[in-house]
Structure 1
């Protein structure tokens, strides 16, 4: 049985870059908000498990205003993926965590992909993965650098 994982997060945090790395796809990526304006799908095989990975447009919250935010919200709420990977910018954690807390409240399993950690380190920002996980109720937090 195929599992579905949705990639969600604010605009321009590296969702599509992570999507390409996971699925071997070549979706065009850009360093400006709003690059992805529709959901994209790709597949990943881990052992016997097939995983459908869905790259959602960027959204700051589940209170949707733009068409991109509506697409992301409706997919998560209506399709109920098996898990959501919340891709967050390690350099701008405060802004990114609002969406993460909303996703957790939906009751869907959430994994935080703390992306752009290389940039955060260069800016002198250090984040404890364990500490962040504990503050978010024990959900998994992993460090990623999407372009590597």
Structure 2
């Protein structure tokens, strides 16, 4: 679980910093905002900040195993939009959705099963019990919020 959390979480956090700061060859808020506007989202810069923060904080939460159900749900909600923007024209790269689908499934699995033994959530007793219920509720929230963002697209 630690390996999955670190790889998936740090990958998502890196994607978020591309949007927020332009790191790792990203477009920063301005470039990412233009992409969101071209993809039909209103207020492209605001959407870039929202997506960047969600990916960065959700990714770091997964990597640390901190508030894992919510971190996984944040990543799932963001990736629902990424899959919708990419479209379902193909499954495999370069125009496919297999990468986003794999990240979505990994984040959902972590939200539902918990972060494993070596995680900050071990110090939060409320998250040690009812793991599946917390994960399912968090994922439902992530899916609903992701769907709401899709509805505001043109």
Q: TM-score range by the shorter chain?
A: under 0.3
TM-score, with normalisation over the residues of structure 1? Answer: 0.26
- Which protein has the bigger helix share? 2
> Which structure has the larger Rg over C-alpha atoms?
2
TM-score, with normalisation over the residues of structure 2? Answer: 0.25
